[in-house]
Amino acid sequence: MLDTRLSLIKDANPELFDRLKSYALPQSIDLELFNSESGDANLLYKNISLHCRQNPQTEALREFNRIKPGPSTIVIIMGLGLGYFVKRLYIGSKCKMVVYEPDLNILKFTLESVDFSGEINSGRLFITNTLEELENTLNELYKYKNQVTVTQVPYVAGLYPQKISDAMQQLDKIVPSLNSNYATLFKYSKKWLLQGFTKLTQAKNNSSLVILENKLKDKTALIVSAGPSLDKNIGLIKQNRDKFIIFCVNTAYKKLITEGIIPDFTVYLDLIGLKSIMQYEHSQTNMIIHSSCNSQVFTQLEPNRFFTFYGKNDLLSRWLAKTCGFSIENYSTKGSVAYLALVSAYNMGCNPIILTGQDLAYTEGKFYSSGTFWGDMFRINESNEIVEEKDLKDKETFKNKINSFKETKFVNVKAQDGGTVVTSADYAGFISHFESFVRDNTSEVRLLNCSTGGANIEGFENKTLQEALTGLPPVGLDINKTLQAIINTEKDPIINRWESIKSGLKPLETDKEKLLQAAQRGINNCKELSREIRNKKLNPVRIKTLYSDIMNSYNRLDENFFDKYDFAIGVAFEELTEFNLLMQDESPQGDFAMIVNFAKTARRLFEATEKGINGINARISSLDRQPEE
Last residue of a domain, one of 441, 461, 495: 495
Instruction: Assess if residue 124 is contained within a domain.
Output: yes
Same structural domain, 267 and 343? yes
Same structural domain, 484 and 536? no
In the predicted structure, residue 365 carries a pLDDT above the cut 70 = no
CB 160 within 8 A of CB 102: yes
Identify the pLDDT of residue 539. Answer: 86
Same structural domain, 221 and 242? yes
Same structural domain, 475 and 543? no
Instruction: Assess if residue 609 is contained within a domain.
Output: yes
CB 596 within 8 A of CB 570: no
Higher per-residue confidence, 90 vs 590: 90
In the predicted structure, residue 400 carries a pLDDT above the cut 80 = no
Identify the pLDDT of residue 432. Answer: 85
Same structural domain, 76 and 214? no
Domain hosting residue 126, numbered range: 2-159
In the predicted structure, residue 335 carries a pLDDT above the cut 80 = no
Identify the pLDDT of residue 545. Answer: 94
pTM: 0.81
Which are the contacts of 577, defined by CB distance < 8 A and separation ≥ 6? 144, 182, 186
Work out whether the CA dihedral 302, 306, 310, 313 comes out positive or negative. Answer: negative
CB 284 within 8 A of CB 480: yes
Q: How far apart are CA 267 and CA 244, in angstroms?
A: 16
Q: What is the mean pLDDT of residues 143-148?
A: 91
Q: How far apart are CA 480 and CA 405, in angstroms?
A: 38
Identify the pLDDT of residue 384. Answer: 59
CB 463 within 8 A of CB 448: yes
CB 400 within 8 A of CB 283: no
CATH number assigned to the domain comprising residue 125: 3.40.50
Instruction: Assess if residue 179 is contained within a domain.
Output: no
Last residue of a domain, one of 495, 511, 536: 495
Q: How far apart are CA 554 and CA 546, in angstroms?
A: 12
Average pLDDT of the residues of the chain = 88
Q: List, for residues 107-127, the tens digit of each pLDDT value.
A: 999 988 899 989 999 999 999
Backbone φ, ψ for residue 194 (5° rounding): -70, -35
Instruction: Assess if residue 223 is contained within a domain.
Output: yes
Least confident of 80-94, 239-253, 371-385: 371-385
Higher per-residue confidence, 294 vs 97: 97
Which are the contacts of 21, defined by CB distance < 8 A and separation ≥ 6? 3, 6
Three-state secondary structure call for residue 1: coil
Instruction: Assess if residue 392 is contained within a domain.
Output: no
Least confident of 175-179, 245-249, 258-262, 393-397: 393-397
Backbone φ, ψ for residue 151 (5° rounding): -140, 170
Q: Quick one: which H or E segment has residue 223?
A: strand 221-224
Instruction: Assess if residue 542 is contained within a domain.
Output: yes
Q: List, for residues 9-54, the tens digit of each pLDDT value.
A: 888 888 888 888 888 888 888 888 999 999 999 999 999 999 999 9
Least confident of 172-176, 208-212, 396-400, 451-455: 396-400
Backbone φ, ψ for residue 478 (5° rounding): -90, 105
Q: How far apart are CA 508 and CA 20, in angstroms?
A: 51
Total structural domains in the chain?
A: 3
Q: Which amino acid is at 328?
A: I
Q: How far apart are CA 442 and CA 454, in angstroms?
A: 25
Same structural domain, 140 and 270? no
CA 118 to chain centre: 32
Percent of the chain residues past pLDDT 90, beyond the cut? 59
Instruction: Assess if residue 422 is contained within a domain.
Output: no
Query: Confidence band (pLDDT; 50, 70, 90) for 405?
Result: low
Q: List, for residues 384-396, the tens digit of each pLDDT value.
A: 566 665 555 555 5
Identify the pLDDT of residue 519. Answer: 97
Same structural domain, 266 and 368? yes
Last residue of a domain, one of 495, 513, 530: 495
Same structural domain, 468 and 529? no
In the predicted structure, residue 485 carries a pLDDT above the cut 70 = yes
Same structural domain, 486 and 584? no
Instruction: Assess if residue 502 is contained within a domain.
Output: yes
Higher per-residue confidence, 278 vs 520: 520
In the predicted structure, residue 588 carries a pLDDT above the cut 60 = no
Which are the contacts of 144, defined by CB distance < 8 A and separation ≥ 6? 182, 577, 581
Higher per-residue confidence, 474 vs 584: 474
Same structural domain, 583 and 475? no
Same structural domain, 149 and 220? no
Same structural domain, 479 and 339? yes
Identify the pLDDT of residue 183. Answer: 81
Query: Confidence band (pLDDT; 50, 70, 90) for 623?
Result: confident
Nearest alpha-carbon partner for 245 in 290, 212, 279, 281? 212
In the predicted structure, residue 69 carries a pLDDT above the cut 90 = yes
Q: What is the mean pLDDT of residues 196-217?
A: 91
